[in-house]
Structure 1
Amino acid sequence: MCVFGLFAGAVLIAEPAYAVASFKEVKQQFATSDAILFDRHGAVIDQLRVDLKERKLPWVNLEDISPALRNALIASEDKHFFQHSGIDWSAVSAAAWGNFWNTKTRGASTITMQLAGLLEDDLKRRSGGRSLSQKISQAYIAQRLEQGWRKDQILEAYLNLVPFRGELIGVHALSRVIFNKHPSGLDQVEAAIAVALIRAPNATALKVSERACRILKEQQRPEFCANLEGQTVLAFSHLSAKATPLSESNPSGSTVHLAPHFARKLLNTENRAVTSTIDGKLQAFAKDSLVRQLSALVDRNVEDGAIIVLDNASGDILAWVGSSGNLSDAAQVDGVSALRQAGSTLKPFLYELALEKRLITAASLLDDTPVNISTSGGLYVPQNYDKHFKGLISVRTALASSLNIPAVRILVGVSDDVFFQRLQNLGFQLRETGGYYGYSLALGSADVSLLNLSNAYRSLANAGRYSPPRFRLNDAVPKSLSVMDSGASYIVNDVLSDRAARSVTFGLENALSTRMWSAVKTGTSKDMRDNWCIGFSDRYTVGVWVGNASGAPMWDVSGVTGAAPVWQEIMHYLDTRDRLSQKLSKHVLPPNVVASKIHYRDGAEPGRTELFLKGTEQTEIFSAQSDQILPTIVYPKAGMVVALDPDIPFPRQRMRLNAVGVQAKTFLVLDGHVVPALITKRSNNISDLKYEWFPWPGRHALSLLNYQGELLDQVRFEVRGAVEKKGQP
């Protein structure tokens, strides 16, 4: 009894060495081992294990814990829980008396005292047990907890923080892993096994079942002891299973992995519960649509795909399908973020830029015939996808039908560096430079991600305004920045929605047609390694990529047959869900766009009503306009460095200066001197200029001037290397 008195006195005079947290603070600081991804409506759509040391699932309120478990806990650990104020003095007295006579007692630690040990790191039980000073501090904190907390809060916190077996912390993890159910569903036998594990978490199944049986007998239910060891062994066999987060929106506890790639992007130890912008139902539909389409293409060597859906106004990512799942040998690769060759999907941005600079109109005629373009790396000889040439064709038809050669001709006029910078402003984050890609940039030689590509199309949908996409629902909507001309964007969108204009390549019936207004573009990379379908309605932008993560080519799969059916199915799903076709307002022309009836004088295309930027409108179109977009120096290239060979006689070394698309009285001027260029006519008033120049070491400037002295184009280049040898002229 002397020991009892000393302990009681020490508790009464103990100094407040610990600051006791409130129940609210403890609950707020509780962190699960799984990070959970919610959709925009609060439903669980994915989970990610971020803490590999402990297994803790979301905090469970006391009313959601089985009464059988609460009763078993109190019966086993603290019979006078609702009567004492943190310390059960009768239990302390019994323990002291038992120690004096060296007899075994149940122990004096109350649930509140055990909770104190769980809340304070330096009071947690070690292998050697707690020292006397630690026990005194534990008892003191228990009294403080009883003064500041309600009994139900103490019980709730204890059940969420107490360790059970192995890595399992809290009743939620225990119930989910061992019994495969929510804590609210534990029966009396399961509750007895759970409480038995608190006292001996690493004991054998036999020891745990014996203790559970004693708990059941204390509750006057000895009949449940039959086959208790077998039930305990079965429960322990579930320890290898993965626990699943539960919430009000996921009460069954079934595993949810709707957006694993998106979850990896957002979830970590710092962000364990994120409400994303994803729409769970749309995500599930998009995922199923992709799997159905790829299953139908399995005999064409296609196994991977990706989908993204964006809200045009906010930039919210509504669906992010990173792979085809079980169909893929590389399901962990995120196809939305992966860099793949863009193919023809960059053409709309090139045409918009040329329209914006007033180098072309949608009615302008382009020359779709074979072309060889001199570059610093040699001749560039682009081909059309179908290996055929259409001759004179309008900008509208060339873009809608995705012809390659007209696009390259446009890039010659725009310049690869200017187009490259526009793509960067649209968020493409290209790794190289415009000069690195050269004219092939018009045909999508750059590697882009589905995310950046689709978001750039969203800028077209938003009248040329760019803003980054939004991942989290609680983040502010990003501010937008005007990157493209609103009128030029409108004209490009009208072209991409023109079913008749795209029929030259795709025909009238294909997966690009929708029952609501939509603008769409496909793309296929070299050797059919990637195909794309990106398009938008007034409200949504949908991007689809189909290919192989390995880079292996597909067999006879284009954007129309591979990605487009998925795109169309998702667009129709959104239309059915939101009744887009009934809500669409009539499109109103922007202030800087006018409509004009046009006639092709040489009959290149039928007459029609065409859209023009104000000030560029025409009524009669001549074929001569097709030869070039604007006067341009095509060789040498800006920044080119030419090396002379000292072993070749100097008079035999030549460098061709070449300009195209010039009209009468246009001159090439080298370093301030007009050169006597050879004129080659293309049509009645359009010509090319060529001059064979003896290159001379140094930095040079080549200019193209008209008869009024206006500068039409200019390049600077350098000649390095040999100087004339002794005895040579």
Structure 2
Amino acid sequence: MMRRALATIALATLTVAPGPSFALPSHAEVKAAYVSSEATLLARDGRPLQSLRVDPTVRRFAWTPLHEISPALLRAVVLSEDKRFFEHGGVDWQAAGSAAWSNLGGERVRGASTLSMQLAGLIDEDARRRGRRSLFEKVTQASVALRLDGQWSKRQILETYLNLAAFRGELQGVGAMSRTLFGKWPDGLDEREAALAAALLRAPNAPASKVAQRACAILKEMQRPGECAGLDGYAASTLAGALRQGAETPALAPHLARRLLNRPGQTVRSTLDAELQRFAGEALHRHLSALAQQNAEDGAVVAIDNASGELLAWIGSSGTLSEAAEVDGVTALRQAGSTLKPFLYALAFERRNLTPASLIEDAPLTLDTGNGLYAPQNYEPQYRGWISARSALGGSLNVPAVKTLVRIGPEPFRQRLRLAGLDSLNENGDWYGYSLALGSADVSLLMLANAYRTLANGGRWSPLRASQNPADAAPCRDSGCTGVFAGKGRKAFSDQAAFIVADILADRNARAATFGLESWLATPYWAAVKTGTSKDMRDNWCIGYSRRYTVAVWVGNASGQAMHDVSGVSGAAPVWREVMDWLHRGDAASGRPSVGSPPPLPPPGIVRTALSFEPSQEPPRQEWFVAGTETKRVRGAAARALARISYPAEGTVIALDPDIPPMRQRLPLRLSSPAQKGWQWQLDERRLGGAGGVVLWLPQPGRHRLALLDVGGRELDAISFEVRALRGNRQRR
């Protein structure tokens, strides 16, 4: 006993000896300096949306207050690490003397390091980096522990220790340990789990069998020996990660989180609505599950507040349904399909090239582009003849759209699309050609959504916002985000053109021939909406806006594979409708009010006139016009004035294939409108027969001139073309 007392006195003397200078921080300072390895994205109301690990060197979650830690764990830790924690003043002199005497006697026993002393080492970053401590460092640590107990409360010491201590591998702190190993919050740990956790503090990377052995000893001290049964297997499965959980927050916005979060401990309050984000993701998942047999597995959803430009929903993929869930469908560049048509007609109305009453012929069309012939076709094989611009846009007809672009020119249209925020159109108009009318250019869902929001706002473009803090960086700036989050507001279309296009896109009658009067697009409130499908059904879109919101949906495959018989109205439109309905119907239980959407008021410079057609291609109606372009009656031109040779086109070069039988290379001669009685074809001054039926001409090498003659032999139209063939491959007449 005398020797033990002497050892205790010696240790006490060393403890109070002067050591390296160490400024002891306060509990509040340590807590404030604590940085989680995670960054957190919050919803607009402060609720967590997504947690993202940013620091790859350590895994620790947000600081856990002592009252949120299980009493069982607190008891297990004190019993295991420092039985007299609540009795001593930072150094357990009794334990220190006993350990010193045993060590002097040659016995290898565990030291007398208290929780306060261990915390002193955790706070001292330099000491932690040096690893094993010398006797002098132990003295310094004890000195700091005494100061800790003098300035901090026991509760503060225990709370800080459990948040800074390493438990297993990269896991630091009680929050990361509890969520990752046991799949629950720290306040839910039972005695068995608490014993395992406490056992890890002494040897964080020990084998599972050693941890179980130590945990069983702790359980016996806790008077729970019965919990030792089966502890070996439970420890093995737990430490192997059988219950491993991810971040402590819901995983509702992974794609936006990866774009906004980049610093450990960072918290960003986004503009997203938590409930809408959840609902939109579930709606997308549900509808894609129904399309699984049609090879449609992925999708994306964006919702925007029209006035503020705040993003309310950002769903980048279908999650578990997708084979490439990491790909962000919101910013991926895809072919736009028919979603560009509203902007084309808006430009035509603004430039007074067309009015909604203007007739455009929906008939087979062949254009010589310089690189070959371009022959657009409608989504459905039939053609409707003469049709108004309103019906052509409402029904999303392809040939009238291409003819409209022929009037305007690809380059002016491309320039206007860029003004509307489609900055991905980097090539000149000739590069895209007339197929630009049908959406051959690559755009992102985010760009398209903001472009439609531009129409909703009377043709005025402005940037979007994803964070409530203006100081936060834009989530992305390149590829599908180019220009979306930066730039000054600008006028992309006139108020009048934007109003007329919105009126057409909200007109059930205008789209009835294609979509029917009742479809996913027919909302009980005012909404303007457009669908689109890209080549080979690789992408389909549905984008539309009400008075307050714009919602955009893409459905397809991240791999680019084609879907099977999935169009915009069957793939993306149901999701669009569900999200739009959610935004407008409100929810009394959650205090979310319903939102009305009456038709917009016409801007100055718009007039409405009673309109009729002669002959009556379409029923009489009230029509909107840009002031100065209005008309009360549209008369169809005579067939003679409309007749044109549609195929071959002017300047066509036809190459004969020597491997194909000549009779199978006959060329059909086509008109842009039905032939009148007595009209005939004439080729190189030689009559070929009537133009009213199908004429298949067996081509002959050389230059030719094809003319269309009326019943009196007068020339109505003529084109020149050339047929080329290998020598000796001349066809017989």
Same topology, TM > 0.5:
yes
Partner residue in 1 for 2:34: 30
Relative to structure 1, the CA distance from residue 601 to residue 582 in structure 2 (aligned partners, 3 Å threshold; closer, same or farther) is same
After TM superposition, list the pairs within 5 Å mapping 1:111-260 onto structure 2. 111-124=115-128, 129-219=132-222, 221=223, 223-224=225-226, 226-227=228-229, 229-230=231-232, 233=235, 236-246=238-248, 256-260=250-254
Residue of 284, 291, 299 corresponding to 2:278: 284
Partner residue in 2 for 1:67: 71
Residue of 443, 449, 463 corresponding to 2:444: 449
Superposed CA offset, 1:148-194 (max 9, x none): 43332221111011011222211222222333322112233332332
Secondary structure of 1:501's partner?
helix
Cα distance in 1 for residues equivalent to 2:401 and 2:375: 13
Partner residue in 1 for 2:384: 390
Contact 2:551–2:580 under 8 Å retained in 1: yes
Contact 1:515–1:581 under 8 Å retained in 2: no
Superposed CA offset, 1:577-609 (max 9, x none): 369886334532222323223343554433322
After TM superposition, list the pairs within 5 Å mapping 1:202-601 onto structure 2. 202-219=205-222, 221=223, 223-224=225-226, 226-227=228-229, 229-230=231-232, 233=235, 236-246=238-248, 256-270=250-264, 272-430=266-424, 431-475=426-470, 480-577=489-586, 583-585=596-598, 587-601=600-614
Relative to structure 1, the CA distance from residue 85 to residue 483 in structure 2 (aligned partners, 3 Å threshold; closer, same or farther) is farther
Relative to structure 1, the CA distance from residue 467 to residue 78 in structure 2 (aligned partners, 3 Å threshold; closer, same or farther) is same
Cα distance in 2 for residues equivalent to 1:102 and 1:506: 91
Shift of 1:131: 1.5
Shift of 1:344: 0.7
Q: Which moved more, 1:548-557 or 1:351-360?
A: 548-557
Secondary structure of 1:245's partner?
coil
Superposed CA offset, 1:266-315 (max 9, x none): 34444654433333333333333333333333333333332222222233
Secondary structure of 1:410's partner?
helix
Q: Which amino acid aligns with 1:398?
A: A
Cα distance in 1 for residues equivalent to 2:378 and 2:558: 26
Cα distance in 2 for residues equivalent to 1:483 and 1:40: 30
Q: Which moved more, 1:49-58 or 1:495-504?
A: 49-58
Shift of 1:552: 2.8
Contact 1:178–1:235 under 8 Å retained in 2: no
Cα distance in 2 for residues equivalent to 1:616 and 1:358: 7
Relative to structure 1, the CA distance from residue 388 to residue 271 in structure 2 (aligned partners, 3 Å threshold; closer, same or farther) is farther
Long gaps (5+) in structure 2: 472-484, 643-648, 651-707, 721-733
Cα distance in 1 for residues equivalent to 2:135 and 2:51: 43
Relative to structure 1, the CA distance from residue 88 to residue 688 in structure 2 (aligned partners, 3 Å threshold; closer, same or farther) is farther
Superposed CA offset, 1:387-424 (max 9, x none): 33333322211111112222222222322222212222
Q: Which amino acid aligns with 1:498?
A: D
Cα distance in 1 for residues equivalent to 2:19 and 2:459: 68
Relative to structure 1, the CA distance from residue 82 to residue 481 in structure 2 (aligned partners, 3 Å threshold; closer, same or farther) is farther
Contact 1:365–1:625 under 8 Å retained in 2: no
Contact 2:219–2:227 under 8 Å retained in 1: yes
Secondary structure of 1:239's partner?
coil
Q: Which amino acid aligns with 2:562?
A: P
Contact 1:316–1:469 under 8 Å retained in 2: yes
Secondary structure of 2:387's partner?
strand
Relative to structure 1, the CA distance from residue 122 to residue 339 in structure 2 (aligned partners, 3 Å threshold; closer, same or farther) is same
Q: Which amino acid aligns with 2:446?
A: L
Relative to structure 1, the CA distance from residue 600 to residue 30 in structure 2 (aligned partners, 3 Å threshold; closer, same or farther) is same
Contact 2:609–2:630 under 8 Å retained in 1: yes
Secondary structure of 1:445's partner?
coil
Relative to structure 1, the CA distance from residue 467 to residue 75 in structure 2 (aligned partners, 3 Å threshold; closer, same or farther) is same
Superposed CA offset, 1:601-620 (max 9, x none): 55443332222223433334
Contact 2:548–2:597 under 8 Å retained in 1: no
Q: State percent identity of aligned pairs.
A: 51
Contact 2:57–2:170 under 8 Å retained in 1: yes
Shift of 1:261: 3.2
The TM-score with structure 1 as length reference comes to: 0.78
Cα distance in 2 for residues equivalent to 1:85 and 1:403: 84
Superposed CA offset, 1:462-497 (max 9, x none): 222223332234447987433222221111101100
Partner residue in 1 for 2:105: 101
Partner residue in 2 for 1:77: 81
Superposed CA offset, 1:492-536 (max 9, x none): 101100010112322222221111111111111122222211111
Shift of 1:10: 5.4
Secondary structure of 1:463's partner?
coil
Q: Which amino acid aligns with 1:200?
A: A
Contact 1:118–1:161 under 8 Å retained in 2: yes
Cα distance in 2 for residues equivalent to 1:551 and 1:197: 48
Q: Which amino acid aligns with 1:610?
A: E
RMSD across aligned C-alpha pairs, in angstroms?
3.6
Shift of 1:336: 2.2
Long gaps (5+) in structure 1: 248-255, 629-634, 637-679, 693-729
Cα distance in 2 for residues equivalent to 1:316 and 1:595: 34
Cα distance in 1 for residues equivalent to 2:377 and 2:225: 84
Superposed CA offset, 1:14-49 (max 9, x none): 356334333333323333344444433444444444
Contact 1:205–1:232 under 8 Å retained in 2: no
Relative to structure 1, the CA distance from residue 519 to residue 121 in structure 2 (aligned partners, 3 Å threshold; closer, same or farther) is same
Contact 1:123–1:138 under 8 Å retained in 2: no
Cα distance in 2 for residues equivalent to 1:191 and 1:526: 59
Relative to structure 1, the CA distance from residue 419 to residue 213 in structure 2 (aligned partners, 3 Å threshold; closer, same or farther) is same
Secondary structure of 1:502's partner?
helix
Contact 1:344–1:443 under 8 Å retained in 2: yes
Relative to structure 1, the CA distance from residue 611 to residue 62 in structure 2 (aligned partners, 3 Å threshold; closer, same or farther) is same
Q: Which amino acid aligns with 1:161?
A: L
Q: Which amino acid aligns with 1:383?
A: Q
Relative to structure 1, the CA distance from residue 136 to residue 618 in structure 2 (aligned partners, 3 Å threshold; closer, same or farther) is farther
Q: Which amino acid aligns with 1:525?
A: S
Cα distance in 1 for residues equivalent to 2:233 and 2:535: 61
